[in-house]
Amino acid sequence: MSGVLTPTYEAVTDWEQLPGGYTHPDVAAVAVNSKGRVYVFCRSEHPVMIYERDGRFVGSWGEGIFTMRTHGITIAPDDSVWCTDDAGHSVRKFTPDGKLLLTLGGNAGKPSDSGYDGSNITTITRGAPPFNRPTNLAVAPNGDLYVSDGYGNARVHHFSPAGKLLGSWGEPGTGPGQFMLPHGVAVDATGSVLVCDRESDRVQVFTPDGRFVREITDVQRPTQIVLARGQMYVSELGWRAGQRSFRHGPIQRDLPSRVSVLDGNGIVLTRIGGPDPCAPGSFCAPHGLAVDANGDLYVAEVAWTVAGKAGLVPPDCHTVQKLALAA
């Protein structure tokens, strides 16, 4: 285990004190600000829900301004909130209480032309400008912005802190620097950019200007990656028998969803999750995650989209969980 103690986590049951009348069959993403407040990004009437660390509800915002395909949320060091709306083809910056500050790309609401047919990523024939169903954003130590662009594209876009497009890279495919659904993104202390290449079961690592460095392959359908405490935290969707990985080919047996903790070199320290998708501390469809200053994890799940509407899990299967780092 690379000389590092194996971290262990305990599910905090009934953490979220959801107000009466509020629901979220899908929670797309979660982030934590400098004060320890937890921002939950939902596909629901109340898109951004805010909680204290102990689960007490603070408030909500974003009503009426997002599509029902909210996707990624990132909180910058200054506590500004970046929201990625994949069906809205938009990446927007807000104040902590929801005032719009900046929109990236200059073409919000209109998909760029990548050849995508609207439903199948294999129809993407070329990398295109921002955006066609973008997925997530990361803030680099120097303030630069990186956006994974995503369901309808196969690119990573690099922006200045003020929102100027500095460059893009990526094409559809499975080779170095190619993507089959770039879904999550993070930037480490050196400026290296880590991208979750979801349907190719890997995380690719690039220089700040997009030169391929290496790949991490001991992951499964990675949806988001968070770097904290010298470790990598990766949320990973499961595979069902009969599905097809672009790395491993046809899937022979069900592989449960999970969250993995890796060291700085990409070596697995621990896996979290089990075969029952609705059990506390196991996962139906982990889609986003956050790590707070205490090392506790918050995991967002798109349970309805992945399994609920097909009747594979009950309606009360969890969509956001807190996992406390055990002493």
**Domains in the chain, please, with CATH?**
9-325 (2.120.10.30)
pLDDT band at 327 (very low <50, low <70, confident <90, very high): confident
Give the model's pLDDT for residue 2: 45
CA distance to 82, 287, 322, per residue, from 325 (Å): 27, 20, 10
- Averaged pLDDT for residues 217-242: 97
Side chain identity at residue 137, one-letter code: L
pLDDT digits (tens, 9 = 90+) for 242-301: 999 999 999 999 999 999 999 999 999 999 999 999 999 999 999 999 999 999 999 999
Task: Give the DSSP letter string of 295-310.
Answer: S-EEEEE-HIIIIITT
Residue 119's contacts (CB-CB under 8 Å, 6 or more residues apart) are none
221 CB-contact burial (10 Å; exposed 0-12 / middle 13-18 / buried 19+): buried
Q: What is the pTM of this model?
A: 0.97
C-alpha distance across the termini of the chain, in Å: 18
* % of the chain residues with pLDDT over 70: 99
